[in-house]
Amino acid sequence: MQLVSEYYKEKVLSLDKNDRKLVEFPYNFDDTSIEKDLFSWKLISGKQFIECSCEEEAKYLDVFIKAGRREVFVPKNADYLKEILPQLLHLKKRHDEIIEDKVDGLLSRRLQEQARRLIWRKVFRGIEEAEEALVEEVMR
């Protein structure tokens, strides 16, 4: 099974820097919902929100927020985003099923959450260096 991080690296990090944008998530941005307002889509957590150009962008960002990421590159092309999103959602669902199976035996909710975060951190460990170089490139 392909990892979410491998798919992200292959489909998004490989894009030209002009074809992707960096989105940073606010601190304590979790337990999200996606809502449509008059002009755009919003990914909402409490009183904070991220404005998105389309529903697919909100769903894409939600995948990475729930995986514990604090920032992520997003394809600028909405059609390309629609193309890659179904496989990303499928991979995330499979990862969640496997993770739930592993942490289900832990009695403490706190330990379950810590285990989930640790597993997701390990999933993304391999791409962090490549991503950091790209972030530096964007900041220049």
Confidence label for 134 from pLDDT (cuts 50, 70 and 90): low
The dihedrals phi and psi of 42, each to the nearest 5 degrees, come to -130, 140
DSSP-derived secondary structure for 101-114: HHHTT---HHHHHH
Q: What is the pLDDT of residue 133?
A: 65
DSSP class of 2? -
Q: Average pLDDT, stretch 66-72?
A: 90
Q: What is the pLDDT of residue 12?
A: 96
Burial classification of residue 56, based on how many CB atoms lie within 10 Å of its CB (0-12 exposed, 13-18 middle, 19 or more buried): buried
The residue ranking higher by pLDDT, 96 or 105, is: 96
Q: Give CA–CA dist 55/117, Å, rounded.
A: 26
Q: Average pLDDT, stretch 56-67?
A: 94
Tell me: pLDDT of 111 over 80: yes
Report the relative pairing of strands 20-24 and 71-75 from DSSP bridges: antiparallel
Q: Considering the entire predicted model, what is its pTM?
A: 0.87
Q: Is the dihedral of CA 111, 117, 123, 127 positive or negative?
A: negative
Tell me: pLDDT of 36 over 80: yes
